[in-house]
């Protein structure tokens, strides 16, 4: 895949999100922000990584039972994987459509349900792969390239 | 435009002030849906909302937004105010409706963010 990160992993961290835990919602993205800042990652790249991680983290909180998250950084970019146990997504193409949402009233009252999370992840990343099994769970595999790696790949 | 000027224009109560009050507001976003703001905002943006949820403050902090204005005479809980203080996110509250707030700021030349459009 042209838009995937490559080369040795220089930094790796795992996180866990528990479904419906609104008290801690967003804390994984906050930790990712801290880590990327410490590693002196470019501010624009941090911004993009945070859009991706926040949208994916909130989907895990809203829809999944639990989710394992891994952050890997190489010279070429950031690799994020969100692997959840949950209901899965029956129609991925539909879920990727702007405005499509199954958010409940309660979720909407918390500010979710625009149906823009997955489309935001797609637009903001260099590559997004969604795989899902109904009744089992959903996996997002996401790459964000550093600007210099991107120009080399082009 | 700076947050202090916006406070005066909206006749807003400063519920949480911060040393960021002098920062220049780059764009304004009016929405009660978080993803809608994230789809077009950038750092330094001001968020107008009627939604009283701590997640608003968390999101504003995560994405380096300039501040949050609660519209429509809504009163955020002590928990939201405490969180904003802890995170250093300025919070204003205005009696103006969302429509009026947008009208005032748009009339003064402030614009929405265009990232991703
Ligand atoms: N991890 C997941 N597990 C199960 N279903 C999911 C998952 N992520 C997304 N979905 C489904 O895909 C739909 C679209 O997701 P998307 O993030 O784009 O929008 P949303 O979460 O409904 O609203 P927003 O993200 O704008 O607040 C969701 O409403 C939900 O039905
Ligand atoms: Mg979502």
The atom of ligand 1 lying closest to the CA of A100 is 14
> Residue B115 has what pLDDT?
76
pLDDT digit string, tens, across residues A104-148 = 999 999 999 999 999 999 999 999 999 999 999 999 999 999 998
List residues of chain B with CB under 8 Å from any CB of chain A.
Answer: 32-36, 38-39, 42-43, 49, 51, 53, 55-56, 58-59, 61-63, 116
How far is residue A44's CA from residue A8's CA, in Å, rounded to a whole number? 23
Q: How far apart are CA A32 and CA A50, in angstroms?
A: 8
Q: For the whole model, what pTM was predicted?
A: 0.96
| Edge-to-edge strand list for the sheet holding B46-49 | B13-16, B91-93, B67-70, B46-49, B28-30
- Which pLDDT does position A26 carry in this prediction? 97
Mean pLDDT of A44-59: 97
Nearest ligand (C-alpha, residue A107): 1
Average pLDDT of the residues in A36-47: 96
Q: What is the C-alpha separation between A70 and A143, in angstroms, rounded?
A: 12
Q: In angstroms, rounded to a whole number, what is the distance separating the alpha carbons of residues A142 and A137?
A: 17
Identify the CA nearest to B105 among candidates B4, B2, B10, B17: B10
Q: What are phi and psi of A7, to 5 degrees?
A: 90, 170
Q: pLDDT, tens digit, for every residue of A62-107?
A: 999 999 999 999 999 999 999 999 999 999 999 999 999 999 999 9
Q: Is A37 left (phi over 0), alpha (psi -120 to 50) or beta?
A: alpha
Q: Do residues A95 and A72 touch, judged by C-beta distance below 8 A? A: no
Q: Which residue has the higher pLDDT, B81 or B21?
A: B81
Domain-wise residue ranges, chain B: 3-107
Percent of chain B with pLDDT over 90: 86
CATH code that applies to domain B3-107: 3.40.1390.20
Yes or no, beta carbons of A111 and B58 under 8 Å apart: no
pLDDT band, very low/low/confident/very high, at A151 (cuts 50, 70, 90): low
Q: What percent of chain A stands above pLDDT 90?
A: 91
Interface check A67 vs B, CB under 8 A: no
Q: Which of B35, B43, B56 sits opposite A117 (nearest CB)?
A: B35
CATH number of A22-153: 3.30.565.10
Q: Do A30 and B116 touch (CB under 8 A)?
A: no
User: How many whole angstroms separate alpha carbon B66 and alpha carbon B92?
Assistant: 11
A84 interface with B at CB cutoff 8 Å: no
Instruction: Count Cβ neighbours within 10 Å for each residue of A9-39 and write b for 16 or more, e otherwise.
Output: eeeeeebebebeeeeebbebbbebbebbeee
Q: Which residues line ligand 1 (CB under 6 A)?
A: A 55, 59-60, 62-64, 84, 86-89, 95, 100-103, 112-119, 138; B 35
User: What residue ranges do the domains of chain A occupy?
Assistant: 22-153
What whole-number distance in Å separates Cα of residue A146 and Cα of residue A41? 9
């Amino acid at each position: 895949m042209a838009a995937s990160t490559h080369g040795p992993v220089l930094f790796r961290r795992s996180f866990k999100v528990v479904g419906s835990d609104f008290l801690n919602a967003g804390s994984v993205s906050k930790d990712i922000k801290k880590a990327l800042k410490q590693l002196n990652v470019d501010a624009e790249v941090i911004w993009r990584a945070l859009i991706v991680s926040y949208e994916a983290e909130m989907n895990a909180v809203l829809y999944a039972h639990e989710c394992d998250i891994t952050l890997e950084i190489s010279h070429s970019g950031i690799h994020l994987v969100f692997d959840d146990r949950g209901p899965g997504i029956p129609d991925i193409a539909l879920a990727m459509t702007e405005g499509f949402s199954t958010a409940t009233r309660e979720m909407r009252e918390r500010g979710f349900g625009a149906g823009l999370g997955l489309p935001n992840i797609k637009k903001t990343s260099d590559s997004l792969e969604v795989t899902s099994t109904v009744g089992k769970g959903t996996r997002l595999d996401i790459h964000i390239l550093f600007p210099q790696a991107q120009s080399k790949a082009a | 435009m700076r947050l202090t000027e916006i406070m005066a224009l909206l006749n807003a109560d400063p519920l949480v002030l911060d040393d960021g009050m002098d920062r220049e507001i780059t764009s304004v976003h009016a929405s009660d849906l978080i993803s809608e703001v994230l789809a077009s905002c950038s750092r330094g943006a001001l968020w107008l909302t009627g939604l009283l949820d701590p997640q608003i403050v968390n999101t504003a902090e995560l994405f380096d937004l300039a501040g949050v204005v609660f519209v429509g005479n809504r009163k955020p809980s002590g928990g939201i105010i405490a969180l904003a203080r802890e995170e250093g996110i300025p919070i204003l509250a205005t009696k103006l409706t969302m429509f009026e707030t947008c009208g005032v700021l748009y009339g003064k030349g402030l614009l929405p963010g265009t990232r991703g459009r």
